[in-house]
Amino acid sequence: MESTTLSQNPGRPGSRISQYLALTKPRVTQLAVFCAVIGMFLAVPGMVPWKQLVGGTVGIWLTSGAAFAINCLVEQKVDARMRRTAWRPSARGEITSVQILLFSALIGGIGMWTLYTFTNPLTMWLTFATFIGYAIIYTLLLKPATPQNIVIGGASGAMPPALGWAAVTGHVPGDAWILVLIIFVWTPPHFWSLALYRRKDYENAGLPMLPNTHGEKYTRLHILLYTVILFAVTLMPYISGMSGMLYLVAAVLLGAVFLAYAWKIYLEYSDALARKTFRYSIVYLSVLFAALLVDHYVHALIGM
């Protein structure tokens, strides 16, 4: 999950704690952890044991924050050239590269230890692989090299539900990978909506984002195509038997609104519309996963 920051105040620096907290991209981390927790609850018919719930949540939170800190470290100069990210303490030079590296190593190490101690080795190694996928493969290799960076790199950002599932059960079945697939397909229309109205930022930063390399019309078409695919993919939990009618209705209604936004972007683009689509995409994913959780426990109660 790439940065979903909607607005930030680039004014005077905050406290030292808030500066370090900013490196972890709290809003993005919260969405990732939310999806991981949903995965935990969907993995069991009843309540998640407290040890796995707390240990898994804290461990995934800390390791995700460590990955985002490395992202800030690598992209200090790029962030400084973009209005959306110039406020970050790493871009402003308020925290040194060594301090960022040590901070990432500290919270990442604690996160890995927490996962190993309170969940299981599989969760720790999957989370570590996700860390490498985002901090190294995506940030260092893919993002500056290809306009398909967000598609390929989206695999690491889509992993939280699988991590949560593994934290509780010690394995990752097909249902968990359906959740991963939903986030994977959601990522391109979500992020390309942002890239459209922030295309000048990416041009200034020299990053090969799709609107800059292939043009606005091409990007608008791909947002629409991926949203159509997303609509179909979100039906898979119902088709597989993971969810019931309550989730299906929510998925169809939420998806119809997302499709309407994507269709409008394709037909008559405006930066304001792209901004609304981006914001809706965050609400969409959150409500979709919440509906999946509610549906899960409604069926558990009916089955009692």
Q: How many domains does the chain have?
A: 2
**How distant, in Å, are the alpha carbons of 120, 179, 284 from that of 238?**
29, 12, 17
Show which of 126, 154, 171 is a domain's final residue. 171
Q: Among 171, 190, 217, give the residue marking a domain's end.
A: 171
d(CA 119, CA 58) in angstroms, rounded, equals: 11
Q: Is the dihedral of CA 117, 155, 271, 231 positive or negative?
A: negative
Domain of residue 277, residue span: 173-304
Helices (H), the chain: 16-23, 26-42, 50-74, 76-80, 89-92, 97-118, 121-132, 149-152, 154-157, 160-169, 174-197, 199-205, 210-213, 216-233, 236-240, 245-267, 271-302
pLDDT-derived band at 209, boundaries 50, 70, 90: confident
Question: Which residue, 125, 143, 171, sits at the end of a domain?
Answer: 171
Model confidence at 239, pLDDT cuts 50, 70, 90, reads very high
Alpha-carbon gap, residue 38 to 26, rounded angstroms:
18
Residues 129 and 231 in one domain: no
Q: State whether the Cα torsion 231-286-48-55 is positive or negative.
A: positive
Quote the pLDDT of residue 303: 56
Report the largest interatomic distance among the alpha carbons of the chain, rounded to a whole angstrom: 58
CATH of the domain at 191: 1.20.120
Same domain? For 160 and 190 the reply is no
Residues 159 and 182 in one domain: no
Same domain for 19 and 63? yes
Same domain, 105 and 187: no
pLDDT at 8: 43
Residues 87 and 203 in one domain: no
The CA distance from 78 to 173, in Å, is 39
Please tell me whether residues 164 and 196 are part of one structural domain: no
| Distance in angstroms (rounded) separating the CA atoms of residues 60 and 49 | 16
Query: What integer is the mean pLDDT of 214-224?
Result: 93
Confidence check: pLDDT of 1 > 60: no
Instruction: Kindly list the distances between the CA atom of residue 135 and the CA atoms of 69, 127, 154, 288, 294, in Å, as whole numbers in the listed order.
Output: 9, 12, 12, 27, 33
* Residues 155 and 223 both lie in one domain: no
Q: What's the CATH code of the domain at 84?
A: 1.10.357.140
**Number of residues written out for the chain:** 304
| Mean pLDDT along residues 178-195 | 95
| pLDDT over 90, % of the chain | 65
Same domain, 162 and 212: no
Please indicate, yes or no, whether residues 164 and 183 belong to a single structural domain of this protein.
no
**154 & 35 share domain:** yes
Same domain, 80 and 110: yes
Per-residue pLDDT, 212: 87
